[in-house]
Structure 1
Amino acid sequence: MVSLLPPLPDVPAAAGPTPPPGRHLLVLPEGVAADEVEVLAVSRFPHARWERPPRVPSGRRASGAARGAAPGATAGVLRLGRLSTLTGPFALEPGQVARWGLPTGSRVAWVVDCPRERVEAPAYGGDRDGLRRAFGTAGPVREELRVVQWLVAAARRLGGALRTETGVVLEPEMDAALDLVVLTDRWAEPAVVLDAARRVVARARLDGPGADPGRPRATPAEAGAALAQREQAGAGVADPAERRRLHAEADAFDQHMRENPPPSEAFGVQVDLGVDGIVVVEVAVEHEVPSVLGGLDWARGEVVAYQVRWEAPDVEELESERPSLTHRVARGRAARAVRGIARELHGEVGGEIADMGGFLVDPADL
């Protein structure tokens, strides 16, 4: 059979005398187009661009082994950063899939070239993405770490895998990317967020400074800032009558602040799922605008983030690359609440929904 893609040359094994530095493989199933990979790259690397777009002849992709490329098929080069590129797509032969221990559904590969930057560091915490298993104690840092983390996120989003330079294959679970965030330029009152959550899970409740849905309470810092003005009133004023007048104004202002506290700039909603853990909605200003919002006019002003995340019953399981069946079952049930709440919030405030990898999600897919 003839593939419409050029075949992938064999990649030297990591155990060889001179393995290529920073040469990883992004491995994907059938049907993932090059522009899908480009969108994910631009979402994480704002200056990503094609240096040479791939050329794939039109027509139906042939199935089976890739024994030759269609005439005119060439791989493209997508620059991720100053020193990193992604070259592909290439067709994978069945022999390569078996030899490299790739998932059986692997059909396409992208070759990644990036600097080899490693630093010895003590192991701590979990290894959700399997990077410690792949690289040992000398893990990637700086640009290589940014590229590898993106490769894991892209493989998870597209149902693929990452074969690292070390020869280890990482196959991240698609369902593990559970948390979502609604990014918008609109604030919603705590009562609105609570109602949105209760449309999905009736036992949702307000949590934190905004626990009063009618009037969110000010934080101690906000209230203290107003009361502190009382101590400054009249400082440096020699006339006793003028000092008394300034103190009276400060007292009146303090009384007004006690009776009319300013709204909190952050609040939350909590949904107790019992044995399945807790879903938390955290609302606050996003001070660093995510790259995924680049080019959107409304994102140039104040961006509000409605984080919808799952707190698992067992944190260690949450950070495990291959969690237990019990954890996966609880995660599946919690996913329905996370996705439903994010969808309802998006209906209230608009904007965009992004997943844990920083990639946009269509509300219709939730």
Structure 2
Amino acid sequence: MGQEASLPPRRRSFRERMDAVPAGEAHDSARGGGESALSQTASHPLTQTSMTSVGGLRAFDTALRVNDTGEIRIDDHVARVSMGASAGEREILPLPLELAQDHHLFCVGASVEDDELEALAVSAWDEAHWVAPGRLHLRGGVELSGPWSLPVNVRGELGLGADLTSAWVLECEPMRGARVPEELRGSDRWAEAFPEGLPFGTEYQVLLVLERMARRLAGALRIAGSGRIIQPDPDSAVSLAVYTPRWLGPAQLAEALSSAFPEVIDSRELIGQDAPPQTRREAAAERELRSVAPELSDELREVLARDRERAEDAEQVVDGYALLTPIANQSMMMIEAHQVERAPHVLRWEQWAQGAVIEYRLRWLPKGQVQIPEAIVTRSERLERMRSIRDIESAATIIHAITGGAVVDEDDFLVSLDDSIDADHSQFV
């Protein structure tokens, strides 16, 4: 690979991604390319209440609405709500403590913009849209209002870290179950956060999505009542998936990856299934992987066995396979390729996602283990994870450059990678 292509890719925020779109290039592909007066005056694609295709950067003048009977209809007259200045330019009021104590809070840092919050909400919920400046509707009767500033004295009262400078108040009717037994409270984060009764229904579903959003935005949730802080590690989302209509066979994918990952090998080589004759490079890679094979967990071997069962004889069409390669210093990456019944919800407006969709899932296997440790505490563990993130993003960039489609993270949010196609990969496009 060339020097430029060897640079590690970088996951870009939605703010960076949308700012990179030249003004006036957004178009309405859903309506034959016609551009309405509203779309011409909209200052930013993600400040519109209509759905924005965050994958293809296409702005639509229409919005989908579900009526009382469950019928989906197209609303051509959706009012745009301007959010005004960016978070760095506007003045926001401090969060009143009484309001904070009575509601769940979604807390983020100073760099998070409103349109990033909206983009993630739209990724998860069909109904998500701005209903007024500072009021983001999520789903039936549930809204986020804000942002409110979190000055030092307020953060201290709420037990929030200094990196969390603003908060959104969740307006959602509580839905709680029975009181959690004392002996079970330490076994689950939600049981600790809701000792008086676990949430269920809409409240629980919304909190789960907000937890995913918090991991993506390096934010946190503060739970009303208990005051429990749920702050996912933003670097814990290591694995990625590429969704595309294009199928690559195991030999073709291994060849595409070989320049960056010379030790990549078909997993069938490790479990005794016959495979096509090897090249000298593949034989060397097999010896390297066989040297670490005894360290592979029983769970990983079961995963490989399932992949073997899904694959037919070498002379016939393979409908599922897995490639393995060492990454970072002590980790491995498994790339599982197979067809899925449906693409993630975030891709629901992509036309290619309505047909056959292939998933290339790139999994991090720390020290050959399927289960990722819940806590990464030592400096060496964090360095290993960061190196693994870099290698997995590099592999995802190569696959995406060949197949097209979209890259999605563990939380089913879109990932934008800074990628380039060099001469080694252009032959596959």
The reply to whether TM is greater than 0.5 is yes
Contiguous gaps of at least 5 residues in structure 1: 15-19, 55-75, 224-257
| AA at the equivalent of 2:212 | A
Contact 1:285-1:302 within 8 A present in 2 as well: yes
Q: What residue in structure 1 maps to residue 106 of structure 2?
A: 26
Q: What residue in structure 1 maps to residue 347 of structure 2?
A: 293
Contact 2:254-2:323 within 8 A present in 1 as well: yes
Contact 2:328-2:391 within 8 A present in 1 as well: no
Tell me: CA distance 1:222–1:176, structure 2 relative to 1, closer, same or farther (3 Å): closer
Tell me: CA distance 1:136–1:330, structure 2 relative to 1, closer, same or farther (3 Å): farther
Q: What residue in structure 2 maps to residue 89 of structure 1?
A: 147
Alpha-carbon deviation of 1:137? 9.3
3-state DSSP of counterpart to 1:88: strand
Q: Superposition RMSD on alpha carbons, in Å?
A: 3.4
TM-score (norm 1): 0.71
Measured in 2, the distance between the counterparts of 1:86 and 1:213 equals 56
Tell me: CA distance 1:124–1:107, structure 2 relative to 1, closer, same or farther (3 Å): closer
TM-score (norm 2): 0.61
Tell me: CA distance 1:222–1:212, structure 2 relative to 1, closer, same or farther (3 Å): closer
Q: 2:247 aligns with which of 183, 187, 209?
A: 187
Tell me: CA distance 1:51–1:13, structure 2 relative to 1, closer, same or farther (3 Å): closer
Q: Give identity over the alignment, percent.
A: 28
Measured in 2, the distance between the counterparts of 1:124 and 1:214 equals 55
Contact 2:249-2:318 within 8 A present in 1 as well: no
Matches within 5 A, 1:59-208: 76-119=134-177, 120=180, 130-135=189-194, 138-165=197-224, 166-208=226-268
Tell me: CA distance 1:126–1:336, structure 2 relative to 1, closer, same or farther (3 Å): farther
Contiguous gaps of at least 5 residues in structure 2: 1-88, 279-306, 421-429
3-state DSSP of counterpart to 2:160: coil
Contact 1:151-1:162 within 8 A present in 2 as well: yes
Measured in 1, the distance between the counterparts of 2:404 and 2:187 equals 35
Q: Is the deviation greater in 340-349 or in 103-112?
A: 103-112
Determine which structure has greater relative contact order: mean sequence separation of CA pairs < 8 Å that are 6+ residues apart, divided by chain length.
Answer: 1
Tell me: CA distance 1:48–1:328, structure 2 relative to 1, closer, same or farther (3 Å): same
Measured in 2, the distance between the counterparts of 1:331 and 1:188 equals 28
Contact 1:275-1:313 within 8 A present in 2 as well: no
Contact 2:409-2:415 within 8 A present in 1 as well: yes
Measured in 2, the distance between the counterparts of 1:346 and 1:359 equals 16
Contact 1:182-1:345 within 8 A present in 2 as well: yes
Measured in 2, the distance between the counterparts of 1:283 and 1:222 equals 11
Q: What residue in structure 2 maps to residue 42 of structure 1?
A: 122
The count of residues paired between Structure 1 and Structure 2 equals 297
Measured in 1, the distance between the counterparts of 2:175 and 2:381 equals 34
Tell me: CA distance 1:11–1:279, structure 2 relative to 1, closer, same or farther (3 Å): farther
Alpha-carbon deviation of 1:213? 6.0
Tell me: CA distance 1:109–1:310, structure 2 relative to 1, closer, same or farther (3 Å): same
Q: 1:263 aligns with which of 306, 317, 341?
A: 317
